[in-house]
Amino acid sequence: MERNAFGITTILLGLALSVVADEPEKFNPTRWEAAIEKFEAADKQSPPAPGGALFIGSSSIRMWDLAKHFPAEKNAINRGFGGSHMADSTHYAERIAIAYQPRVIFIYAGDNDIKGGKTPQRVLSDYRAFVKKVHAELPKTRIVYIAIKPSIARWNLVDKMRQANALIREETAGDKRLAFIDIDTPMLGDDGKPREELFIKDGLHLSEAGYEIWSDLVRPHLAKE
């Protein structure tokens, strides 16, 4: 059966529209509702005290053993949910950030955003939305952005990730309540590539050695003012 150019164009257009139609669902934050409800159930059993240190974001946060790495911080709250984007943390900020009235928030997000096709400018925009939402309710809370890491698995995206990092770093410079932690340089070897020992087998998530580096960089920001 022959297909003319018009028929092929129609098919391709249909496929393109299908992809566009699927975009909102792909980044729909309500897909994390079950995870957020688990956090809320845990909060009912053991409510976090106000004034703590909140760690929020994607799987690099979720897999971080805060009690082990920050034994002096008695009120460290881990609210990482793996695979999440910056906008997801913003969407649930009232329930798993603002509700705790933390003195400081450490956020790691943007890694999955770039992998998912979002631009560095979009990551900046979503970061601004998170800051705006938190500071509308908690104007004194410090927000510390942990830079998007240079990973083995996503090395092909490092340029876009560094662009996002640079944009957010510049954004934090004008507000003393904001800070930026550069974890890019410390995670690179002499060859300029990510150090293998800092990752588990998937080349994406951190090993214990990787978390030691992150923890050393985060620790000074935990100091209470």
SS3 77: strand
Residue 20 or residue 212, greater confidence: 212
Tell whether the model's pLDDT for residue 2 goes beyond 60: no
pLDDT band at 26 (very low <50, low <70, confident <90, very high): low
Element (H, E) at 104: strand 104-108
Confidence class for position 27, pLDDT limits 50, 70, 90: low
Tell whether the model's pLDDT for residue 14 goes beyond 70.
no
The packing angle between helices 158-172 and 120-137, to 10°, is 30
Name the token pair of 62: 């979720």
Classify the C-alpha dihedral 210-212-216-218 as positive or negative: positive
As a whole number, mean pLDDT of residues 103-110 equals 98
pLDDT digit string, tens, across residues 182-192:
999 999 999 99
Angle CA 198–199–201, to nearest 5 = 145
Class of residue 63 by CB neighbours under 10 A (exposed 0-12, middle 13-18, buried 19+): middle
Mean pLDDT of 61-81: 95
